[in-house]
Amino acid sequence: MKLMAWSEHFVTGISTVDAQHHALVDMINNVAPSLALGDDAAKQVVAPLLDKLIHYAAVHFKHEEDLMARSQVLPDYLAQHHRTHQTFVDEVLQMRQQYEEAGSLSGKDLLQFLTSWLSFHILSEDKRMATQVQAIAAGDTPSHAYEALASVGGAPNAVYNAALIDLFSLLSQRNRTLLQVNQQLLTAQSELESANRTLESRVQQRTQELSQANADLQTERAALVASMQHLERTRTQLLQSEKMAAVGQLAAGVAHEINNPIGFVSSNIGSLGGYVEQLFDLTDVYRQATVDLPAAQRQAIDAALKQMDFDYLRQDVTDLLQESKDGLGRVKRIVSDLRDFSQADEGQLLPVDLNQVLESALNVAANDIRQKAEVVKELNALPPVLCRASQIQQVFVNLLVNAAQAIQTRGRITVRSGVTPGAVWAEISDNGCGMTQEVQKRIFEPFFTTQAVGKGTGLGLSLTWEIMQRHHGQIQVSSSPGQGTTFRASLPHPPAEPIT
């Protein structure tokens, strides 16, 4: 609530003077409520207000008197205006001295003095001063500017100021009552907020308990899911082991049944090749002997040879025999792979260094790798692991050959080794064509191959898987099309179970 509101009636038309008057009005409005109450609140603001008024008078009055002197107002008017200023300063200094001596000063008296000053000095004296300054600046003479002023009565203003002070005091008292009621409301509100905070704290605590219970349930659920996944992997491994055992028995039987007929077929084709060569040699002798035959007989023999296309027949028989030998050789290799697959438990269990086994496998597969890739070694020192070295070497050879076959032109094969808690591992990586997820799911199945017909038996990775199972190890693959493939073979260290 404001005692006095700044309005156009206070405006003199001189911006610097108006700004200082506006600051004085704001200064009085800031302390008016405390002065109107006339209690301890007034005592706290009287001394600072009087000090500010003294400073204000020193700055403002000097500015006004310098302005009038520059405008050359009548000396008598300047002297009279100066006396008005001095009267204000004397009154303020007297009130300041009274406050220091008595320790108190009537807030209402101070308000009445200030409002009277504002009414008479600003609305009367300063407006008269501004009117003269502006008239002189417009070209009027100082005498004429002074004579043109109209006199302003002061008694009605005094009555108005007194009534205004009383009204403001009443309003201030009512405002204090409202403040007390408001304080009571604030106290009640504070108590309510405290109760709300207590309730919120309890709700938060309960929410935390429920969240913790939910987190525990989520943990248990995750553990259950992990257990189910582990059981599923175990079931899959058992099914794979049973499948591989059945395939091993089948492979052993098939290898035994096929090996004997392959033996005599191979022997017969070898003998047949020898007989055919002898027949062709004999034919050559006959053809040479036809030189001495009569022309009619020679022509009949040449016509018969030409009709049967003897030269083509001779070359084709040789090619057919060679193709038959190559086919038998491939059947022998398949039978050999089947025999190796069914007899994967051969070899002596010894502690070996997997790095040495890797080096040996690289030497064995060197011919397959040399034309396709450079080899990068990232081998770390490893503790000895108990295994059948020949079988683990076969695993690495199979993986190295597969890596070379996955590279189309020229690439890189990286071999790594290392130790993890409870296991020793070796990795073989290539930057070849990679595999899809569908292919990765089937690569350990017997007879599954992605190579062209006649290029692979599909038993290499099956044998690898079987060997790792017998050693209670793991064979893992990571691959994606166009990004290469990484196989990791891990062996337990130390072995948790006897190796079969």
In a domain, 197, yes or no: no
Query: How far apart are alpha carbons 197 and 181 in whole angstroms?
Result: 24
pTM over 0.85: no
- Same domain for 136 and 26, yes or no, is yes
- Same domain for 312 and 359, yes or no, is no
Query: How far apart are alpha carbons 472 and 301 in whole angstroms?
Result: 73
* Alpha-carbon distance values, 365 to 110, 353, 380, 396, 449 (Å): 112, 19, 21, 9, 19
CA 166 to chain centre: 70
Per-residue pLDDT tens, the chain, 500 aa: give them: 566 777 787 788 898 988 888 888 888 888 887 777 766 777 788 888 888 888 988 898 899 889 999 999 999 888 888 888 888 888 888 888 888 877 777 777 777 778 777 777 777 788 888 889 999 999 999 999 888 875 444 444 444 444 444 444 444 454 455 556 667 878 888 888 888 888 888 888 888 888 888 888 888 888 888 878 777 766 665 555 555 555 556 666 666 677 778 777 778 887 887 887 888 777 777 777 777 778 788 788 778 777 877 778 878 888 888 888 777 776 776 666 556 555 544 567 889 999 999 998 888 788 889 888 999 999 999 999 998 888 898 899 889 988 998 888 889 999 999 999 999 999 999 998 888 888 888 888 777 666 544 455 557 788 888 888 888 899 999 998 988 999 999 999 887 666 66
The pLDDT value recorded for residue 418 is 95
**Domains identified in the chain, total number:** 3
- Same domain for 321 and 421, yes or no, is no
Q: Which amino acid is at 421?
A: P
H helix or E strand, kind and range, residue 416: strand 411-420
CATH number for the domain harbouring residue 472: 3.30.565.10
Domain boundary among 153, 185, 200: 153
In a domain, 190, yes or no: no
The pLDDT value recorded for residue 153 is 42
Give the domain extent around 104. 9-153
The pLDDT value recorded for residue 161 is 44
- Same domain for 108 and 80, yes or no, is yes
Query: How far apart are alpha carbons 188 and 180 in whole angstroms?
Result: 12
The pLDDT value recorded for residue 424 is 95
Domain boundary among 106, 138, 153: 153
The pLDDT value recorded for residue 430 is 92
